[in-house]
Amino acid sequence: MTTQIPPQTRQTQIKLDYQAAEYTSFMDRLKQWLFNGYASLFYLFLYAPIFVLVLYSFNKSRFPTYWTGFTLEWYKILFNDHLIGSALKNTLIVSISSTIIATIIGTMVSVGIERYRFRAKSAVDGLLFMPIIIPDIAMAIMLVVFYNLIHMDLGLYTIIISHIAFNISFVAIIVRARMASLSSTMEEAASDLYANEWNAFWRVTFPLLIPGILGGALFAFTLSLDDYVITNFTSGPGSTTLPIRIIGMTRRNITPEINALSTMMLLTAMLLVPLSLWLQRREDMS
């Protein structure tokens, strides 16, 4: 029992590589070469606009078009811009609170739907699915009409409520996919062991669900940070968020300050996303 058997997947991979080597002909290599070239072009298409955006945040000229020299001036202006500061604060309040609430209740509903059989299941399914396929402009106007009708003042609260309403569905999709991939035998074995459903859930099912919950939370957080349409309609005076601020800035006059702000936001996303994906994978392995 001391010799280690290599994982099944690796064995098949080696076999496939071996076969691939055998059949490689000139045509195959040409095809490979063309495909690689195509993929490089595709990545260029994805990243070139972002690269230009970042580059021109260091442009001396006050227009982000003609390159006149290097400066950090726009970052200095950005960090002293109190409107940006308050927009950032609002964005974080909205994203964090709506993510936390949507993740908790979205996980609850996923566990309920996947675990139990009940009559209204397809109705609940439909209700959960609807916010995903309805265009955000339609959701935005129906919420603003509703808030008006019940005389709710527009502000941070109404933005948070609206964000939760669309985030629940996305959290539920991801958590339910994870839940469905877990085998019920695990929990059955656990309930034999702990004899208590509550303990079985918290000790066995919940830890296995964590990657799905984190994935759902990350998705909800990004959607919330990204949202312009619903936020714009449900926000009141003083509750401006970053996307609203950016669009407002592009309407008045375009300066490299927008590029500097964009660069900071890009940097945050580029650090946060790989980090959280890495965390999820670690959870997955343990």
Partner 1 sequence: MAIEPRTRRERLTLNILLSPTLFWLIFFFAIPLVIILILSFLDNSPNGRIVWNIQLDNYIRFADQLYIKIFIRSFFIALITTIICLLIGYPMAYWMANQSLKKRNTFLLLIMLPFWTNFVIRTYAWKMLLARQGQINQLLIALKIIDEDNVHTFLNTNAAVIMGLIYIWVVAMVLACFASISGLDRSLLEAAQDLFANPARTFLRVTLPLTLPGIVSGSILVFVPSFGAFVTPDMLGGGKADMIGNLISQQFGESLDWPFGSAISAILMIVMLFGTLLYFRGLRSGEAQS
Cβ neighbours for 264, distance < 8 A, ≥ 6 positions apart:
78
Q: Which is nearer to partner 1, 213 or 242 (CB)?
A: 242
Binding status of residue 127 toward partner 1 by CB under 8 A: yes
The Cα 194–Cα 174 span in angstroms is: 28
Give the SS3 label for residue 59: strand
Q: Site for partner 1 (CB under 8 A): which residue of 72, 142, 193, 275?
A: 142
The phi, psi pair for 59, rounded to 5°, reads -85, 135
Provide the mask over 188-227, with x wherever binding to partner 1 is found by CB under 8 A and - wherever it is not: ----------------------------------x--xx-
Please report, as residue ranges, which positions from 45 to 104 form the binding site for partner 1 (by CB under 8 A): 45-47, 49-50, 52-53, 56, 63-66, 104
Report the candidate in 94, 97, 99, 98 with the shortest Cα–Cα distance to residue 155: 94
Contact pattern for partner 1 over residues 233 through 252, marking x by CB under 8 A: x--------xx--xx--x--
Residues 149-188 that bind partner 1 (CB under 8 A): 149, 161-162, 164-165, 168, 172, 180, 184
Looking at 72, 83, 92, 145, which residue binds partner 1 (CB under 8 A)? 145
By the 8 A CB rule, do 199 and 266 touch?
no
Cβ 130 to partner 1 shortest distance, Å: 7
Burial of 69 (0-12, 13-18, 19+ CB in 10 A): exposed
Concatenate the DSSP letters of all residues of 237-250 into one string.
TT---HHHHHHHHH
Binding to partner 1 in span 23-42, by CB under 8 A = 35-36, 38-39, 42
CB of 104 to partner 1, least distance (A): 8
CB 102 within 8 A of CB 163: yes
Closest distance between partner 1 and the C-beta of residue 165, in Å? 4
Question: Residue 99 or 162: which CB sits closer to partner 1?
Answer: 162
Nearer to partner 1, 3 or 38 (CB): 38
Q: Among all chains, which residue has been given the structure tokens 């509703």?
A: 146
Nearest residue (CB) to partner 1, 3 versus 53? 53
Distance CA 245, CA 121 (A): 41
Where does residue 163 rank: exposed (0-12), middle (13-18), buried (19+ CB within 10 A)? buried
To the nearest whole angstrom, how small is the minimum distance from the Cβ of residue 5 to partner 1? 19
Helix (H) or strand (E) holding 110: helix 82-115
CB of 227 to partner 1, least distance (A): 9
Smallest gap from Cβ 77 to partner 1, in A, equals 17
